[in-house]
Chains A and B, each alone.
Chain A
Amino acid sequence: MSPVPVTHILFVSTALFFIGMYGLFTRRNMITMLMSVELILNSVNINFVAFNKYLYPGKLDGIFFSLFIITIAAAEAAVAIAIIINLYRSHHSIDVEDAGELKY
């Protein structure tokens, strides 16, 4: 048996997920919202690795899922920052409230 029950690891990842959600709800700055999304993706990775280790130790599927998530998160961050910089060029602000042309 492991020294720590698996629910405690899941507690950490759940708490991290909702911390990221809180950041996504309250922040209006695009870069900080992107950072919250990174926290959320990381909490999902912890989940995959913990399930792999404690529930199915004979397989490697959780490892592969977290590797693919890390790759896609890197691509997503790069695209998001390109969009943010382009938005800053046209609006001189990266606050989401200032970019409302497509809203209505």
Chain B
Amino acid sequence: MSASAIIFYCISAFILGAGILSVTTRKIFRSAIWLLFSLIGIAGLYFWMDVNFIAAVQIIVYVGGIVVLIIFSIFLTQKAGEEMPKPITKRLLFSILAVLLGFVFTYRLIDQYGFKESSDAGSFNVNVADIGTQMLSTTEHGFVLPFEAVSMLLLAAMIGCIVIAIKSKPEAKEQISNNKQGM
């Protein structure tokens, strides 16, 4: 077994261990921190696969953005030290059963399929300039249309977030509470 393979198995064990702890721990803040470790492990896996650009994007967007957002919302909505209630035993049992069944079924399919690995996988290196050129090219294999669509989506999401989370004015609030009392 080469050193590269050993590094891969270490990274995967780290990702899966942190992921399992993140969905099973009962303190919500610890859960967020384990998620952070799992995402960092995934960034390490991208570095291992020689896709440095995706790894950098993963660290910037997930570790620097989404996890910080989640931690903020935990502080806004929860008492961070409290333990969450245990899931109902029946639901726990059936979800473990369903997940194991699905995992075994899917992995069996993957194992039997027999992927033909390309022989020059070692020569795969992603140039950021190539990504940029293809992203904005209007030829047949360009990605400029999805790029524009995603930029509109981001704008819409940003405005939508502000509209949803904005505090309503005091008089509007009173009206709502009056309506509630009337009902």
Q: Considering residues B32, B54, B154, which has the most beta carbons from chain A within 10 angstroms of its beta carbon?
A: B54
Task: Collect the chain A residues with CB atoms within 8 Å of residue B106's CB.
Answer: 14, 17-18
Complex-state Cα separation, A30 to B30, whole angstroms: 15
Question: Does B117 sit at the interface, judged by CB under 8 A?
Answer: yes
Per-residue 0/1 for A12-36: is the Cβ within 8 Å of any B Cβ (1 yes, 0 no)? 1011111111110111110110111
Q: Of B96, B126, B131, which one neighbours A22 at CB under 8 angstroms?
A: B96
Complex-state Cα separation, A75 to B69, whole angstroms: 12
Complex-state Cα separation, A55 to B161, whole angstroms: 39
Complex-state Cα separation, A2 to B76, whole angstroms: 46
Residue of A with least CB distance to B20: A19
Q: Of A18, A42, A56, A70, which one neighbours B103 at CB under 8 angstroms?
A: A18
Task: Collect the chain A residues with CB atoms within 8 Å of residue B23's CB.
Answer: 19-20, 22-23, 26-27, 32, 35-36, 39
CB–CB A10/B49 < 8 A: no
CB distance from A40 to the nearest CB of B (A): 10
Per-residue 0/1 for A80-97: is the Cβ within 8 Å of any B Cβ (1 yes, 0 no)? 011111101000001000
- Given A54-B117, A54-B121, the answer on whether A73 and B102 have CB atoms closer than 8 Å is no
Question: How many pairs of residues, A versus B, come closer than 8 Å at their CB atoms?
Answer: 218
Task: Collect the chain A residues with CB atoms within 8 Å of residue B165's CB.
Answer: 82, 85-86
Complex-state Cα separation, A43 to B126, whole angstroms: 20
Q: Of B61, B72, B91, B117, which one neighbours A5 at CB under 8 angstroms?
A: B117
Per-residue 0/1 for A37-59: is the Cβ within 8 Å of any B Cβ (1 yes, 0 no)? 01100100110011011111100
Q: Of A29, A53, A76, which one neighbours B49 at CB under 8 angstroms?
A: A53
CB–CB B54/A22 < 8 A: no
Complex-state Cα separation, A67 to B105, whole angstroms: 29
CB–CB B99/A25 < 8 A: yes
Q: List 8 A-B contacts (CB under 8 A).
A: A3-B5, A29-B28, A53-B51, A63-B53, A67-B57, A77-B70, A79-B157, A86-B164
Q: Closest 8 interchain pairs by CB?
A: A23-B23, A25-B95, A75-B157, A57-B124, A82-B165, A82-B161, A82-B164, A3-B4
Starting from the known contacts A6-B115, A57-B123, 18 additional A-B residue pairs (CB-CB under 8 Å) come to: A1-B121, A4-B4, A4-B9, A8-B8, A16-B16, A19-B16, A19-B99, A28-B87, A31-B74, A46-B45, A60-B131, A66-B54, A72-B150, A72-B153, A77-B69, A82-B164, A85-B165, A94-B77
